[in-house]
Chains A and B, each alone.
Chain A
């Protein structure tokens, strides 16, 4: 599509304004919502505190399915943050989309492949790091790259690379597709005045509902796969 972007450089590194703005706003929303939910905690939870504890129990459940041990306990906070960030990132582009002169300044951060792949990089990085620190480097190489037979090394290398790529691109693809279809629906809605505006709006409503669902599912899938990839690297 060749989308335009506004970028600047610091020390040879390229920064894109849309990415920075989207990520910052998403994280700010995540932080303030969770800060508000965790405000005025009581021993007997009610309302927002109950909701927050439900989310925490939910992400803890994801972790415990794959890693019912101390490593899993240490990963629970990461899983929670990851889930909240991806969930909010997936939804924000559906709620608000700001474009100025053809440059989209606010969209779903996860609709950018680089951000999705960065998150995947963090997850995969953590899984490799934990494997090395738990098993030692020798065992790590043996478990991750030379099992079940050393002859499968090339396949294992491809496997590790593709698991990283699919983890990131699955998220990116789902959210990017959702936003693309939304953009197409908008073009359809303004194509023939009122005649297309009404059905266009109806279809948009349906599609946004579906995308919200997809966004939640993708956040869940991303966290689940992170834990699965971590646990399979820890199996001796």
Chain B
């Protein structure tokens, strides 16, 4: 091989055809690779780098937005909670007040009812007493009549009537 090199260098003026062929072939290979392998791949790599950079920027912006939103939401939440607390305490107060009102009403009602009942009872008792009194009077009169009818004779009766008439004249 080395002989060939030296020999070629000496006698054949180097195998310049080989040199030329390699040069041309290498240029051709570069052209083809540029078009079919290097070009597309490096373009894809650049695109990817670009996309990653864009994505990072977008992510940054979106994170800021998200943080803003989160802050706003937090504030809203706090406001809502306060409002809810307010509503609950209001409702509690109203409930308490209403309850007290109800109890007072009930107490008043029951008191009135008690009084009315007591008055009714009193009245009923009086009526009953009156009724009983009348009955007793009737009964005693009847009993008295029965006793009197049995024991009173005509003469006695006459004397009694006279006494009564006398009484009438006196009482006038």
Contact = CB atoms under 8 A, between A and B. Distances in A.
A41 B41 contact: yes
A56 B45 contact: yes
B18 A27 contact: no
A81 B30 contact: yes
Given A34-B36, A53-B41, A3 B25 contact: no
Contact of B15 (A16, A23, A43, A78): A16
A1 B3 contact: yes
Nearest to A179: B1
Contacts of B28: 27
B22 A115 contact: yes
Interface residues of A, number: 47
A85 B14 CA distance: 23
B18 A14 contact: yes
A36 to B, nearest CB: 9
B34 to A, nearest CB: 6
Given A3-B4, A14-B15, A56 B32 contact: no
B59 to A, nearest CB: 17
Interface residues of B, number: 36
A84 B25 CA distance: 14
Given A53-B41, A56-B41, A15 B3 contact: no
Contact of B48 (A43, A80, A122): A43
A160 interface: no
Interface string A54-69: 0010000000000000
Nearest to B20: A13
Interface string A11-36: 00111100110011001001100110
Interface string B6-49: 00100010111111111101101110111011101110110110
A109 B29 CA distance: 15
Interface of A: 1-3, 5, 7, 9-10, 13-16, 19-20, 23-24, 27, 30-31, 34-35, 37-38, 41-43, 45, 49, 52-53, 56, 77-78, 80-81, 84-85, 109, 111-115, 118-119, 121-122, 176
Interface of B: 1-5, 8, 12, 14-23, 25-26, 28-30, 32-34, 36-38, 40-42, 44-45, 47-48, 51
